[in-house]
Amino acid sequence: MKRRLLVSDLGRESYVTVLELQRSLCRQRLAGELQDDVLLLVEHEPVVTLGRGTHPESLPLPAAELERRGIGVYDVERGGDVTFHGPGQLVGYPILNLRDHREDLHWYLRTLESALVSALASLGISAGVRPGLTGVWTQGRKIASIGIHVKQWITYHGFALNVSTDLSYFGLIVPCGISGVVMTSVGAELGRSDAQLGEEARLAVVQGLSAALDLAPFEANSVRA
């Protein structure tokens, strides 16, 4: 029997609230209080997060100016450069014990990319990766970003797939520190803006990640901090 992947859909929730939930779940995994792997799915209000690899030039506007525009700014422990989260974006935070999979961070990053590529294929979008860069691209445009943190082989932070995201927000930053990058979304690529698209993307991502990790998805009503 396959091990389970508990899938908890948090709806729209603040970045700080979900960050603290991730850290709590990580502690529970480390203490052996939580045995299952978990996938948190969420949509955030507009925020910019600065990973450990953020370069000053990746944030052209001062944090105070972004906050004046209603966009939160947070320094976090994940790898990578600056990124944006906001409405219309499907953000996934896998809380996994890599000792149950493979103790290899590069393998984990490639697995996340593969899962998203598979999910996009099921939605009718041909996507792939770019050598030397992390994330998922389609026709030269970036559609999903990845930034992780691992503590004693327990993962948190994760990925962000643009579904119906207002792409103009990315013009306020240098996404992932890549000059000239063009961001896109599932909706933009498919020419769709219907309400059903979000649910289709959610199901595709759950199926793609479950298959990539060889886990059985199990819908959990909630997970507790």
Q: How do residues 16-31 score in pLDDT, each as one tens digit?
A: 999 999 999 999 999 9
Mean pLDDT across 142-155: 97
Q: How confident is the model at residue 190 (pLDDT cuts 50, 70, 90)?
A: very high
Confidence label for 128 from pLDDT (cuts 50, 70 and 90): very high
pLDDT mean over 136-144: 97
Q: Does domain 4-219 have CATH number 3.40.50.720?
A: no
Out of 71-80, 91-100, 163-172, 214-223, which region has the weakest mean confidence (pLDDT)?
Answer: 214-223
Does the pLDDT of residue 102 top 70, yes or no? Answer: yes
CB contact set of 49 (below 8 Å; sequence gap of 6+): 15, 73, 74, 75, 76, 78, 82, 83, 84, 85, 147
Whole-model pTM: value is: 0.96
What are the residue boundaries of the structural domains of the chain, listed by start?
A: 4-219
The arithmetic mean of pLDDT across residues 3-17, rounded, is 97
Catalytic residue from among 48, 123, 176, 205: 176
Give the pLDDT band of residue 48 (cuts 50, 70, 90). very high
In the structure encoding, which two tokens stand for residue 206, read together? 């759950």
pLDDT at site 209: 98
Residue 129: predicted pLDDT:
97
Strand order in the sheet with 89-95: 136-138, 141-151, 154-162, 89-95, 37-43, 4-12, 216-219
% of the chain with per-residue pLDDT over 70: 99
What pLDDT does 176 receive?
85
pLDDT at 223 over 80: no
Q: What is the mean pLDDT of residues 91-95?
A: 98
Q: So what's the pLDDT on residue 225? A: 66
Residue 178 pLDDT exceeds 90: no
CB 83 within 8 A of CB 38: no
How many CB atoms are closer than 10 A to CB 31? Answer: 8
E strand or H helix at 11: strand 4-12
Q: Is residue 176 among the annotated active site residues?
A: yes
Short-list 53, 73, 83, 50, CA closest to 173 = 83
